[in-house]
Amino acid sequence: MRDGIEAKQGVGPDGVETFVLIRSVERREKERAMHERFARRIEARLTRLERRLQHARRPLDVRRLERQVGRLLERNGMCQRL
């Protein structure tokens, strides 16, 4: 193998197959940057939603707000678990 490559061996769920995960350090850094970007986007949109809720003159429909949050998570799927 060449420098900057990581390899990890794993056993399949049936215990028979063996898997090898290989990825470069550059790819890991790219994935981290992508996750950070999506996380910042989710945070910014949730902050906007919070401000909207604080300044609302009438109570907002909870189901509609849940759908909006669901769409936000769908568009930024890589960071849903955050």
Distance separating alpha carbons of residues 2 and 17, to the nearest angstrom: 25
If one counts the domains in the chain, the total is: 1
The pTM of the full predicted model, rounded to 2 decimals, is 0.62
User: pLDDT at position 75, please?
Assistant: 80
State which residues form the domain around 25: 5-79
At 58-81, the pLDDT tens digits run 888 889 989 988 888 888 776 656
**pLDDT band for position 25 (50/70/90)?**
confident
pLDDT, tens digit, for every residue of 37-60?
A: 888 988 999 999 889 888 888 888
Residue 82 in this model has a pLDDT that exceeds 60: no
Question: Mapped to the 3 state alphabet, what secondary structure does the chain carry?
Answer: CCCCEEEEEEECCCCCCEEEEEEEHHHHHHHHHHHHHHHHHHHHHHHHHHHHHHCCCCCCCHHHHHHHHHHHHHHCHHHCCC
